[in-house]
Amino acid sequence: MMSFGVGRLGPVFMRDVTISTLAEAVAALTEGGPVRLRSQPFASASLGAGAFLALIKAARAAVPGVAVEAVLDCGDAPGHALGALRLGAEAISLTAPDEVMQKIAEIAAQTGAKLYRASPDGQLHAMLPASSTHP
């Protein structure tokens, strides 16, 4: 699947690749970037944020120089999302009520991380803190 984002120089298209293992992550990076490595659904509960972040670090070391965004799926668990942010996750996805999403978007912005809401079809939609959408 291809996704669209906006980078410093304008639109950026990146491949979305869902991974479970280091071998899958390395294979995706070997194909070149930019690429978005997405964890399996609810990976924050099954794999854990620390293990996912270690997997991504190892993949980046194995295939340096590839533009990659790593997104940990936190399912519907805001506590897992907060824990992932504390551990240094660069991007997380979460399904939660709007007011919870806004609070976590504000915290993510403070850490420099991105927060996404996954739609039922699997697309990721960036969540911005309310303070950044109003002057």
pLDDT in tens, 62-119: 999 999 999 999 999 999 999 999 999 999 999 999 999 999 999 999 999 999 998 8
Q: pLDDT band at residue 130, thresholds of 50, 70 and 90?
A: confident
For residues 78 and 104, is the Cβ–Cβ distance under 8 A? yes
Q: If you write DSSP's letter for every residue of the chain in order, what string do you get?
A: -EEEEEETTEEEEEEEEEESSHHHHHHHHHT-SSEEEEEPTTHHHHT-HHHHHHHHHHHHHHSTT--EEEEEE-TT-HHHHHHHHHHT-SEEE----HHHHHHHHHHHHHHT-EEEEE-TTS-EEEE--HHHH--
Class of domain 2-133: alpha beta
Decide if pLDDT at 10 tops 50.
no
Position 31 pLDDT exceeds 70: yes
Task: Decide if pLDDT at 29 tops 80.
Answer: yes
Residue 4: pLDDT band with limits 50, 70, 90: very low
